[in-house]
Homo-oligomer: A and B are copies of this chain.
């Protein structure tokens, strides 16, 4: 494969980067946001919507798709792309985070992790090698290794074990990845763990980068820790990540967190917040969150977000979307999810533009001044 990542420009005032990432299903402009398609579908949106919104990549969950519909079904389609009818790049996470957040009765050994499916209670055993085989079958363009995600808060011992197993499993992952010939079409990331300890985060970063992956992710930062600690982890790890590889802050975050993380040198983001907030009647705007069930919007003929040019804001009013949510119509959830995903995609488009124009520092300042993360 040609060079995977090209760093095109760096910001003069921050650590922000503008780049390009080549995948088997197209070239991605960085930094970028990936809508989350947990069950091989971005909640409420079909692949045509996702294309229309302008998303470059869809993320899907190895854990969920492996359990349902299962590889028998995905194999019929030779992978997720045809199954979802999405011809753009796909990233699959390894299932590590889901195993540690969704399942019961899990047992971690050096070999792997045994867990009970949250779908039907059946027992499964994931090893780093098995996850590579599954991700080969899913056929995503970017793939993640099985890692061990420490809970928050956690003991020093738990954090140490998370780091050492994650490193060991990353090495085994890389070997299987090469043995399988997956490197011909797939980009393998390493995941840095280490919980809230500076030295463990840095140890993990040194170990994972020494394996030599195609990109690096910071994991375990969306498990419930305060925002301050999340950014500490990013700042501890970032200097250890090679400039010529893409960096991915997993599972993050609210729009203001994304702007800040870009300024810390992160290139890739995902979160289910836009669709989850949409399903709860919350719209995202440049001012923060809008709770559209608020009575003040009952007669509002304007769009959900006056600054937005998305399909929903161009065609439907706040009052209409609010009515749909109040009446329990799934169309309301769908329209709000559409708007919120568009909001993230448009934000990233603007971030790339101001990076190109050398104006990211001002953009960040203005964005954070206007955006109220507590606004209801």
Interface residues of A (CB under 8 A from B): 39-41, 43-48, 64, 68-69, 72-73, 76-77, 83-85, 298-299, 301, 311, 315-317, 319-320, 322-324, 326-327, 329-331, 333-335
- Given A315-B48, A334-B334, is A327 in contact with B68 using a C-beta cutoff of 8 Å? yes
Contact present for A85 and B330 (CB under 8 Å): no
A76 and B45 CA atoms in complex are apart in Å by 30
Contact present for A85 and B44 (CB under 8 Å): no
Contact present for B319 and A73 (CB under 8 Å): yes
Closest to A314 in B: B85
Contact present for A85 and B315 (CB under 8 Å): yes
A331 contact set on B, CB distance < 8 A: 41, 43-46
Of B69, B316, B330, which is within 8 A of A333 by CB?
B330
A44 contact set on B, CB distance < 8 A: 330-331, 334
Closest to A83 in B: B320
A69 contact set on B, CB distance < 8 A: 298, 319, 322-323, 326-327
A84 and B317 CA atoms in complex are apart in Å by 9
A40 and B333 CA atoms in complex are apart in Å by 15
Give 14 A-B contacts (CB < 8 Å), ordered by A residue. A39-B324, A39-B327, A39-B329, A41-B324, A44-B331, A45-B331, A46-B331, A48-B311, A68-B323, A69-B298, A72-B298, A76-B299, A77-B319, A83-B320
A301 contact set on B, CB distance < 8 A: 76-77
Contact present for A334 and B330 (CB under 8 Å): yes
Contact present for A319 and B83 (CB under 8 Å): yes
Closest to A326 in B: B68
Contact present for A46 and B319 (CB under 8 Å): no
A47 contact set on B, CB distance < 8 A: 315
A333 contact set on B, CB distance < 8 A: 330
A353 and B254 CA atoms in complex are apart in Å by 53
Closest to A47 in B: B315
CB distance from A171 to the nearest CB of B (A): 34
Contact present for B72 and A299 (CB under 8 Å): yes
A298 and B77 CA atoms in complex are apart in Å by 12
CB distance from A74 to the nearest CB of B (A): 9
Contact present for A320 and B46 (CB under 8 Å): no
CB distance from A44 to the nearest CB of B (A): 5
Contact present for A73 and B298 (CB under 8 Å): yes
CB distance from A38 to the nearest CB of B (A): 8
- Given A301-B76, A301-B77, is A330 in contact with B330 using a C-beta cutoff of 8 Å? yes
Of A41, A64, A322, chain B has the most CB atoms within 10 Å of the CB of A41
A85 and B312 CA atoms in complex are apart in Å by 11
A315 contact set on B, CB distance < 8 A: 46-48, 85
CB distance from A35 to the nearest CB of B (A): 13
